[in-house]
Each structure stands twice: as structure tokens, then as C-alpha cells.
């Protein structure tokens, strides 16, 4: 009999021992921090994810506990080039190795190539999914090719007229210097 696993309180050790897999298609509103990054998403967007547990035997060491995570969501963001809406696909495909506790994770972190997490009987898988998607979001979202030509120059006729009406500060200095030279004679 296989055990039922819940993403909000995942028993990582049992999940890995069973070689279990969980998948979901959750509404974006269940990931509040992610939705805050794309408030115009509404209730129509879905976060699709899959998690798989694994135990790996290591010669001369304890068995390793692994979690493989894949997640994807399409977020409506603002293109930073044309300032229009752009749908950005955010994807995660990452593996995590679990260790006994936070101290072990911290001690092994510098030498490990993989991400390390502390094993838990009530691990928040949904929180991990949200964290990983947030870290994969582009800093500067933009279209590959903007739908409208991007205006690269800004011209304000009123500003240009005001600038033309102002005297050039160097011309004023030159005039002062010239006037001072005429007064000395």
C-alpha cells in the first residue's frame, strides 16, 4: 500500500523511500508572493508542477535523499522595452539533496554542486515551488520582438523652446569677462 502524500506537509523521507511522485495544477492565487509579482494575472493562470522522490545508495556513506522538481507558470508582466503586456513563461527544473539538519546543510553547502535542504516530516513543497519560480523570474521582462516600434528618443517641443530661450551660461561668463576688460582701460 502506497502512502498518500500532501504537498503542503510532505514527509520527505517517506516520499523518497517510496520513490513517490506528486503533480499538480494549482491556481496562481494559491501562491500569494508569485501572484503579487503579476497582479493582472487574475484567476485564470495555473502553476503546473511535478515532484519526484528518490533514494540514492552511496558507497561508504548513508543513502542520499533527493527531490526532483519541475514547475511552470505563464505570468503576464510588463515589457520593460515597450511598456506593453508580455506573457513570460517561468520554468524550474531542479534537484535537491536532503541532509539531516540545517547545520549539515550549511557545512556541506560550499562543496556541494546541488542545492541542499534539511529533511523534514512536514516539508512545505508548495513554498519551495513558489520560491524557485520567484527566483527564475526575469529581472527585466521584455518581448523578443516588441509588437509596436519602440520610441527611442523623447522630444518635448515646450522643453526645447524653454531651453532655447535661456542664455548660454558660458556666453554670459564671456560677456562678464569682456565687460570687465573694457572697464580696466
The three cell numbers locating residue 44: 485564470
| Confidence label for 182 from pLDDT (cuts 50, 70 and 90) | low
Query: What does the domain layout of the chain look like in residue ranges?
Result: 7-136
The 10 Å Cβ neighbour count of residue 60 is: 4
Residue 44's pLDDT band (cuts 50, 70, 90): confident
Per the structure block, which three cell numbers stand in for 114? 546541488
pLDDT higher at 39 or 86: 86
Nearest 10 degrees: CA dihedral of 74, 132, 139, 77? 20
Phi, psi of 42 (to 5 degrees): 65, -150
pTM of the full structure: 0.76
pLDDT tens readout for residues 99-128: 888 888 888 878 888 888 889 889 999 999
Residue 48 binned pLDDT confidence (cut-offs 50, 70, 90): very high
- Give the residue with greater pLDDT, 154 vs 143: 143
DSSP assignment of 100-166 equals SSHHHHHHHTTT-SSEEEE--SSB-HHHHHHHHHHHHS-SS---SS-SS--------HHHHHHHHHS
Amino acid at each position: 500500500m502506497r502512502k498518500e502524500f500532501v504537498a503542503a506537509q510532505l514527509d520527505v523521507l517517506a516520499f523518497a523511500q517510496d520513490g513517490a511522485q506528486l503533480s499538480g495544477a494549482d491556481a496562481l492565487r494559491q501562491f500569494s508572493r508569485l501572484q503579487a509579482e503579476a497582479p493582472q494575472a487574475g484567476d485564470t493562470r495555473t502553476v503546473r508542477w511535478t515532484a519526484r522522490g528518490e533514494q540514492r545508495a552511496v558507497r561508504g556513506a548513508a543513502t542520499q535523499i533527493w527531490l526532483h522538481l519541475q514547475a511552470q507558470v505563464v505570468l503576464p508582466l510588463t515589457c520593460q522595452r515597450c511598456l506593453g503586456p508580455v506573457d513570460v513563461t517561468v520554468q524550474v527544473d531542479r534537484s535537491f539533496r536532503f541532509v539531516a539538519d540545517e547545520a549539515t546543510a550549511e557545512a556541506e553547502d560550499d562543496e556541494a554542486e546541488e542545492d541542499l535542504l534539511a529533511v523534514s516530516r512536514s516539508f512545505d513543497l508548495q513554498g519551495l515551488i513558489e520560491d524557485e519560480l520567484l527566483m527564475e523570474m526575469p529581472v527585466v521582462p521584455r518581448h523578443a520582438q516588441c509588437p509596436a516600434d519602440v520610441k527611442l528618443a523623447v522630444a518635448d517641443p515646450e522643453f526645447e523652446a524653454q531651453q532655447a530661450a535661456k542664455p548660454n551660461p558660458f556666453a554670459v561668463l564671456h560677456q562678464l569677462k569682456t565687460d570687465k576688460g573694457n572697464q580696466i582701460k
